[in-house]
């Protein structure tokens, strides 16, 4: 499915990309306007992936339901930013970072998942039918 098709159909867009030449400005005004009026936008990746001015405009017009932002183009968010004035946005000062114990859990789960998969077990698969289709396609 294309990004545009995805944006038209989902209830929540949560950004999890590294900032690169390909991702910078990826979510511009025209793409944000594809989202449903009832949809929410979340960015915990990098601020420059979304056009902040366009996001403000879309939020101010209530073209989408709301946003939660933990990252901004300029950090900390400048006092002159209009984002804090909106009633449909939640802002955090870029503190969405896992703890050391959180990373330990991530690593342990990743290893367990890989080893289970190698053993033919799907202990945490949410869509085991997709794995079966892949196996049959081989």
Residues with a catalytic annotation lie at 46, 75, 94
Question: Can you give the C-alpha Rg of the chain in angstroms?
Answer: 18
Distance CA 118, CA 56 (A): 46
C-alpha angle 130-135-138 in degrees, rounded to nearest 5: 125
| Strands 40-43, 12-15: pairing kind | parallel
Tokens of 56: 């403000």
Where does residue 73 rank: exposed (0-12), middle (13-18), buried (19+ CB within 10 A)? middle
């Amino acid at each position: 499915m294309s990004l545009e098709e995805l944006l038209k159909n989902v209830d929540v867009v949560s950004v999890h990309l590294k900032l690169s030449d390909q991702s910078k400005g990826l979510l511009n005004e025209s793409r944000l306007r594809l989202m449903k009026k009832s949809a929410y936008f979340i960015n915990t990746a990098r601020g420059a992936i979304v056009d902040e001015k366009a996001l403000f405009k879309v939020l101010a017009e209530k073209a989408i339901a709301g946003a939660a932002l933990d990252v901004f183009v300029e950090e900390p968010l400048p006092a002159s930013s209009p984002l804090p004035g909106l009633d449909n946005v939640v802002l955090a000062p870029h503190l969405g970072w896992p703890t050391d114990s959180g990373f330990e859990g991530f690593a342990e789960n990743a290893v367990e998942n890989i080893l289970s998969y190698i053993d033919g077990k799907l202990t945490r698969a949410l869509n085991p039918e997709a794995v079966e289709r892949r196996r049959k396609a081989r």
